[in-house]
Amino acid sequence: MNYETQINEACEKFRALLKDQLCRVEKMKADGDFKDYESLPKIRIGVCGGDGIGPIISAEAERVLKILVADRIAEGKIEIVRIEGLTLENRIAHMQPIPDDVMEALRSCDVILKGPTTTPQKGSGMPNLESANVAMRKALDLFANIRPVRVPEEGIEWTIFRENTEGGYAVGSSGINVTEDLAIDFTVTTSQGSERIARLAYDYARKNGYGRVSIVTKANVIKTTDGNFISDCRKVAAEYPEIQTDEWYADIMTAKLIDKKRRADFKVLLLPNLYGDIISDEAAEFQGGVGTAGAANIGKHYAMFEAIHGSAPRMIAEGRGAYADPCSMLRAVAMMLSHIGLSDRADRLTAALDFCAKEKKLVITGRPGGASCRAYADYVIEHL
């Protein structure tokens, strides 16, 4: 059978993807320095609820945030802006992962606190929309996804640096069904993208006194993109001679994180996009589950803070949304406060969350019988 027509159509689509990615490389080359938040006369914080349990846990996060920065709001140094329209229904209505008016509102802010969003899965009967998270990370160039996990009593103190704009997620909705039998997706790696995430990870390790960075890939099998990622990271590592660098394959790392003899050795993990997503979810389980973990998405000009988990549509369908765990979003608030130069307030919130998790006067179960989202937020507020 002659497949020339299908091959030519696939090649044209691939050509367009290559042009887009090469344009992105040129933008990265021309990018400037990181925004200095402490020098801004006013910081605009956008709160974007998302969908599913997103609006519920985001509302509690916003309530705690307003308490912690009440004086800054009164002085006009912080403005909190509510951004609507990132619901699945609105995205489908506009057939955009982020509708244009929502994107404009996001760009008007300096930092964003974002609730989880739903991404339609193939076969769900919904349109093939790109993930709103992926679209936001690309549009605002939020290249670093930073996810801390702390379990002091077990010696676990991990900070995961996940490259956020490349890898298998970069063009995840742009794969090609060449024929009914053959489908192709794409993985993207650039030297600029790998270098900047590596530098952020090594800078963090140096500033915080961590003596080890662990690079995680599958470069033994994915030889080109993963191979280039690890090669570029090694070049950056050479500039930090006081920091030990070790290299792991992603499948082995998932095993070693549960190895009590080895897991306390890890400090800073540096990974491409897909592996970073998977391994950070595994890591969060040690802390109490993905519902307890927040994440920072850092770029040079914008930053977005979120829960690491999804929108839990099943909880909404079963009428359990009011019992969603707000801790992931509250951890995200703490990371945001630290990022904009309010580390003392971030420490207050982190200490309150740690105390409540240890005391367990209230426990979130996700179901009636456990604490509600609002009641748990009240519990945290009592201990700020």
Domain boundaries of the chain, sorted by first residue = 31-142+299-384
Per-residue confidence (pLDDT) for residue 371, from 0 to 100: 96
31-142+299-384 CATH: 3.40.718.10
Q: Record the pTM.
A: 0.86
Taking the alpha carbons at both ends of the chain, their separation in whole angstroms is 69
Phi, psi of 158 (to 5 degrees): -110, 140
What span, in angstroms and rounded, lies between the C-alpha atoms of 58 and 93?
Answer: 23
Per-residue confidence (pLDDT) for residue 131, from 0 to 100: 86
Place of tokens 């990370």: 137
Q: Output the six-digit token pair for 180.
A: 């009914």
Per-residue pLDDT of the chain (384 residues; tens, 9 = 90+): 789 999 999 999 999 999 999 999 999 999 888 999 989 999 999 999 999 999 999 999 999 999 999 999 999 999 999 999 999 999 999 999 999 999 999 999 999 999 999 888 777 777 878 889 888 988 999 999 999 998 888 899 999 999 999 998 888 778 899 999 999 999 999 999 999 999 999 999 999 999 999 999 999 999 999 999 999 999 999 999 999 999 999 999 999 999 999 999 999 999 999 999 999 999 999 988 877 788 999 999 999 999 888 899 999 999 999 999 999 999 999 999 999 999 999 999 999 999 998 899 999 999 999 999 999 999 999 999
Give the helix ranges, DSSP H, for the chain.
Answer: 4-30, 54-68, 70-74, 88-94, 100-107, 132-139, 191-207, 225-237, 250-256, 273-287, 313-317, 327-339, 343-359, 373-382
Residues 6+ apart with CB under 8 A from 18: none
Per-residue confidence (pLDDT) for residue 173, from 0 to 100: 75
Residues 6+ apart with CB under 8 A from 332: 61, 113, 294, 295, 296, 305, 306, 307
Task: State pLDDT tens for residues 2-26.
Answer: 899 999 999 999 999 999 999 999 9
Per-residue confidence (pLDDT) for residue 153, from 0 to 100: 86
Per-residue confidence (pLDDT) for residue 177, from 0 to 100: 93
- Is 147 within 8 Å of 295 (Cβ atoms)? yes
What span, in angstroms and rounded, lies between the C-alpha atoms of 118 and 109?
Answer: 23
Tell which residue, 25, 40, 23, 85, has the closest CA to residue 302: 40
Q: Output the six-digit token pair for 184.
A: 């192709």
**Where does 100-201 show beta strands of DSSP type E?**
111-114, 144-151, 156-163, 176-177, 183-184
Amino acid in position 208: N
What span, in angstroms and rounded, lies between the C-alpha atoms of 369 and 111?
Answer: 36
Q: What is the dihedral of CA 222, 271, 53, 108, to 10 degrees?
A: -110
CA-to-CA dists, residue 204 to 77, 232, 302, angstroms = 27, 18, 18
